[in-house]
Structure 1
Amino acid sequence: MNAKDDELNFVTKQTILLVDDTADNLTLMNDLLKDRYKIKIANNGAKALRIAQAEAPPDLILLDIMMPEMDGYEVCRILKADVKTRDIPVIFLTAKSDPADEKMGLELGAVDYLTKPISPPIALARVKNHLLLKASADFLRDKSKFLEQEVESRTREVLAIQDVTILAMASLAETRDQETGNHIRRTQFYVKTLAEKLKDHPRFRAVLTESYINILFKSAPLHDIGKVGIPDRILLKPGRFEPHEFEIMKTHTTLGRDAIEHAERALGTPVPFLSMAKEIAYGHQEKWDGSGYPQGLSGEDIPLSARLMAVADVYDALISRRVYKEGMPHDKAIQIIIDGKGKHFDPDLVDAFIELQDEFRAIAVRFHDTDHDMAQKQHLMERLLDTKP
């Protein structure tokens, strides 16, 4: 074997840290182990801890108990309390042969306990076995960490695909209405802002958990998915609806719920964000006083998610341009929401909305509809309908 081979063999050897305050003991153990392992030496506890906590920690520590200043028990206790060193196997190598001493050492986390004078074959066998066990444990730990990272990565991918799919579905519904623009993005942030404001409110704190708010944010874009089923002659009508036309328009809530239920059945398993999306799609046109649709629910019989969306949806509809009207000034829209307190809207939601009106205005500005956005949307709708300008 040449010098290069010797160097490679040395680098790939497992490392053992010998800790003892007696030079003769260190020499004895070094001579016994040096042909099989890479050896590091410490003649006191403090030095042993520095070596163990260094960039390249040892694979195993042979630790004397009776040392000045810091005994082996204390060294072991510190090693096991440190996340960086707690998995390094410690074998006590000591003249203390009382069973109580051995019990204490093992209770502190040592994997083995050898008494002096040692039997070289037994010491070598114990060291080899514990290094094999550590190698297996390291392999399993690394594999587990790798699998956790893979699961986390795949989960992020699935969630990203899910979010894009939701927005694509919602945008498809919105493309049929030329002037709703960034409505789905604005209402998504409105409901999240409103929910976060109310999460500590006595009426809502049990429901508005972090998980609920995250699902609410994800579900909100599907609130008008049922508009896909409304005929263009009604959805795009520039004037007021005739009574029979309005009855057809009202069915978008039921159409949205049914579409989401169909998706749930196809999946064959409950999905929280679809369940909430169904609540919102079906219930966001209900009113606090029972005069809304499709069921005429009132008060807290209306799901909270739908009540939150009702405020967000109406505010955005008021300030936004539509085929039948121009956008309303912010202050006037605020007054209409206030006038609807206890009638159209949950009173506590209106109170929170009033406190958040500046945040709502900022969201509206952040996701405002540009002429370019509207032109792109009209072009997409014309392609879908195969019509000409």
Structure 2
Amino acid sequence: MDDTSAIRMVLSEILEPDYRVLTADDGRSALELLARESPDIVLLDVMLPDCTGFELCTRIKDDAATSDVPVIFLTSLERMEDQVKGLEAGAVDYLTKPVHPRVLATRVANQLRIKEAADVLRDRDSWLRDEVARRTRDVERTQEVAILALTSLSDTRDGETGSHSHRTQHFMRVLAERLKDHPRFSDHLDGATRDLLVRSAPLHDIGKIGIPDQILRKPGRLTDEELAVMRTHPGKGRDAIQRAEDALGGEVPFLRLAKELAYGHHERWDGSGYPEGKRGDAIPVSARLMAVADVYDALTSRRVYKSGMQHEQAMAFIVERRGTDFDPDVADAFAACGDEFAAIARRFVEEQERSAAEAVE
């Protein structure tokens, strides 16, 4: 871009044997040309009718669409401060008139080779980012398929447990979102962990696969002996997941959370839970959240041996036990988002009723 037609003509004669040359005589025309043509390189004078070349170079570099286009200043200004100013504006070279045609052609060719190499690297980086994103999605899908397969296996043993697992997954999402900025939980509930936590949630009862049918599907309350067997399911779930992790040859974050949920969701804040009687912050955060989600769903769901509580009754039960059964802050978070829990439970009931009606038809 130069405001002198004679100079633009000379430059064109030097470069056109090897390149397609487009010219503009002011800053506005130059920007319009850049937007329309996407050139590989820009030769720019400092003195333009409507702005300085320094200003135009800055605008070119500030625009994401043209920021990678190399700019070479070609000007009669020879002062060192002008050269520094041009390079600071983002130019890759600074030539003063008169310039020898071979010097100009060589400088342009060198910058184009550099740009070509940079474009190749940028394309490679973009491909790598896309490939990493694709493989990450594949891993996530594999995890989801594994969860679905294991949960479906659980469903074949106990349909109510399967529905319970899916509902608690939604409850966990609500609690994790509510607590993500809480001072006690923010370090444990970053975005990636929340996502893993929600996807792992359906595995919290996977240990029930190892419980005998006569206990798991008993149409009534369990005896003390049967209850003792039922209480082995957290350990069975953790051990099954651990075996899967061992087969992979190292710790997997996704499975670490799944183990915490499976093993710790029956622990109680005051130490009265099982299997280890852990108390307070010794209980993993994931298990503390699941404890609330699990109990709420158990209270509000109908079983063969009981009717489901109303939402308000279940809320009162959990809030009353803040600081004994449940982490006080988790119980408070539950109380604050109780309407969301009720909406989730209601949606599942409506979906089940609709499916039952369609089956009859």
**TM above 0.5, one fold?**
yes
How much has 1:310 moved relative to structure 2? 1.0
Q: Do 2:154 and 2:162's aligned partners in 1 also have CA atoms closer than 8 Å? A: no
Q: Partner of 1:38 in structure 2?
A: 20
Residues in 2 aligned to 1:259 and 1:339: alpha-carbon distance in whole angstroms = 34
- Of 93, 98, 101, 2:79 maps to 98
Matched-pair identity in %:
53
How much has 1:372 moved relative to structure 2? 7.9
Q: Do 1:59 and 1:88's aligned partners in 2 also have CA atoms closer than 8 Å? A: yes
Q: Do 1:179 and 1:374's aligned partners in 2 also have CA atoms closer than 8 Å? A: no
What amino acid does structure 2 have at the position aligned with 1:49?
L
Residues in 1 aligned to 2:49 and 2:154: alpha-carbon distance in whole angstroms = 78
- Of 42, 57, 60, 2:41 maps to 60
SS of match in other structure, 1:74: helix
Residues in 1 aligned to 2:314 and 2:58: alpha-carbon distance in whole angstroms = 66
| Shift in alpha-carbon separation, 1:202–1:148, aligned structure 2, 3 A | closer
How much has 1:214 moved relative to structure 2? 1.9
- Tell whether 2:6 aligns with 1:24: yes
- The Cα offsets for residues 342-376 of structure 1, whole Å up to 9 and x where unpaired, read as 3322233222222222111100122236268689x
What amino acid does structure 1 have at the position aligned with 2:76?
A
| Shift in alpha-carbon separation, 1:32–1:361, aligned structure 2, 3 A | same
Residues in 1 aligned to 2:53 and 2:331: alpha-carbon distance in whole angstroms = 66
Residues in 2 aligned to 1:279 and 1:328: alpha-carbon distance in whole angstroms = 28
SS of match in other structure, 1:83: coil
Aligned pairs for 1:312-327 within 5 A = 312-327=293-308
- Tell whether 2:238 aligns with 1:257: yes
- Tell whether 2:162 aligns with 1:178: no
Q: Partner of 2:320 in structure 1?
A: 339
Mean alpha-carbon deviation: is it higher for 271-280 or for 348-357?
Answer: 348-357
What amino acid does structure 1 have at the position aligned with 2:124?
K
- Tell whether 2:106 aligns with 1:125: yes
- The Cα offsets for residues 206-225 of structure 1, whole Å up to 9 and x where unpaired, read as 43333332222122111001
Residues in 2 aligned to 1:334 and 1:114: alpha-carbon distance in whole angstroms = 76
| Structure 1 unmatched ranges of 5 or more | 1-18, 376-389
| Shift in alpha-carbon separation, 1:186–1:20, aligned structure 2, 3 A | same
| Shift in alpha-carbon separation, 1:155–1:208, aligned structure 2, 3 A | closer
| Shift in alpha-carbon separation, 1:367–1:335, aligned structure 2, 3 A | same
Q: Do 1:223 and 1:284's aligned partners in 2 also have CA atoms closer than 8 Å? A: yes
What amino acid does structure 1 have at the position aligned with 2:102?
P
TM-score by length of 1: 0.85
What amino acid does structure 1 have at the position aligned with 2:5?
A
| Structure 2 unmatched ranges of 5 or more | none
Alignment RMSD: 2.2
Residues in 1 aligned to 2:160 and 2:241: alpha-carbon distance in whole angstroms = 24
| Shift in alpha-carbon separation, 1:249–1:67, aligned structure 2, 3 A | same
- Of 348, 352, 361, 1:370 maps to 352
What amino acid does structure 1 have at the position aligned with 2:12?
N
TM-score by length of 2: 0.92
- Of 119, 125, 131, 1:144 maps to 125
How much has 1:49 moved relative to structure 2? 2.0
- Of 336, 340, 345, 1:359 maps to 340
| Shift in alpha-carbon separation, 1:323–1:374, aligned structure 2, 3 A | farther
Residues in 1 aligned to 2:54 and 2:158: alpha-carbon distance in whole angstroms = 75
Residues in 1 aligned to 2:137 and 2:103: alpha-carbon distance in whole angstroms = 51
